[in-house]
Amino acid sequence: MPDTDEHIRFDDLVAAIDRTLQAAGASPEAASIMARNFAGCERDGALSHGVFRVPQIVETLNTGYLDGTAEPTAEAVSPTYIRVDAKSGFAQLAIERARPLALQALEQHGMAVIAIRDSHHHSALWPDLEPFADAGFVAITAVTAGVPNTAPLGANSPVYGTNPLAYAAPVAGSRPLVVDFATSAMSMGDVTLTANEGRQVPEGTGLDSEGQATTDAAKIVAGGSLLPFGGHKGAALSLMVELLASALTGGDFSVEAAPGKPEGAASTQTGQFLLLIDPNRGGSADFAARAAQLIGVLRDAGIERIPADRRYRTRDEAEARGIPVTPAIRELLAT
């Protein structure tokens, strides 16, 4: 929690971000979707995906690499398979365009795949999934994260981005379970901070420029790579993300997207994969009730914090008292 007594209402923060994005050339619809997205991350305590990202997006819009006026086209190539050309625009707007087709597929056939190409995703993944889980669906998504800075053990150059993966599921009697994580062991930003402080990173965090494992943060920053989390299993997941979110969608791989990225651009044009399932078609018991049962088992085993618990608690506080005003928010309001 930032050390501040000043707070801002969610709607006011949304309005301020919306104005800023429209001033940078985003269409009213794109600005509105992204303003709610970044303000939502800020409200929920995910500050690294919150207002902090707004100036980065403004700069990326200014380069022309991210098109704030792009009109994504969604087509149902089958009753359950939706293919979206994001046309160099926001992935979140592409999802919005796919939503009516996806909801129809879910209603009629109990499932949908959304394959988005040529999209920019520069936020958390959980805002993409939470509405689907709120509506009772299981949702999974993966995004090729652009800047190649991650490589499996033994590689002498980075291959993957931080390639996040997320899933969401409805839970009876509580808000949905939504899990969202990078398949890299750490962010390059955190490794850089550690290097600047002259500290070491844990084993399994990264490689030096020769592809050798190191705990020397400075060597990782100087031409090395991050490692995927969890050894070869995590590496297999980083690879899966590129295959689903880029090869399957028609988007660029991390190594392909990066060279076309102009100076100052923060987001990268790749792709996103989403899978949506009505979980009650497969089983014989209500899914959300079953999920609640399993989470009960975890709590009974002494697990105090279930994924998303903290996010919802922070959200509740923000809804009661407003969102704490950080320097990033102050800067936003001053522009």
Q: Is 77 exposed, middle or buried (0-12, 13-18, 19+ CB in 10 A)?
A: exposed
Question: Are the C-beta atoms of residues 86 and 72 closer than 8 Å to each other?
Answer: yes
CB of 306 to its own copies, least distance (A): 9
CB of 22 to its own copies, least distance (A): 31
Is 7 among the residues that bind its own copies (CB under 8 A)?
A: no
Options 303, 310, 319, 327; binder of its own copies; rule CB under 8 A: 303
Largest separation between any pair of C-alpha atoms in the chain? 57
Which candidate in 18, 27, 32, 49 is catalytic?
49
Is 109 among the residues that bind its own copies (CB under 8 A)?
A: yes
Instruction: At 166, give phi and psi (nearest 5°).
Output: -150, 155
Q: Give yes or no: 49 in active site.
A: yes
Q: Given the complex with its own copies, which of 62 and 215 has the nearer CB atom? A: 215
Binding mask of the shown chain, residues 276 to 295, with x at each position contacting its own copies by CB under 8 A: -x-x-xxxxx-x--xx-xx-
Is 244 among the residues that bind its own copies (CB under 8 A)?
A: yes
Q: Given the complex with its own copies, which of 189 and 230 has the nearer CB atom? A: 230
Tell me the DSSP string of 186-226.
S-HHHHHHHHHTTPBPPTTSEE-TTS-EE-BHHHHHTT-EE
d(CA 217, CA 233): 23
CB of 66 to its own copies, least distance (A): 20
Across the strands, what pairs with 274? 114, 141
Question: Are the C-beta atoms of residues 332 and 51 closer than 8 Å to each other?
Answer: yes
Q: Which two tokens stand for residue 174?
A: 């509580």
CB of 230 to its own copies, least distance (A): 2
Judged by phi (left if over 0) then psi (alpha if -120 to 50, else beta), residue 146 lies in left
Residue ranges in contact with its own copies by CB under 8 A: 77-81, 83, 108-111, 113, 115, 117, 138, 151-152, 154-157, 159, 167, 169, 177, 179, 181, 183, 211, 229-234, 236, 239-240, 242-244, 246-251, 253, 255, 273, 275, 277, 279, 281-285, 287, 290-291, 293-294, 297-298, 301-304, 307
Q: Catalytic residue numbers? A: 48-49, 190
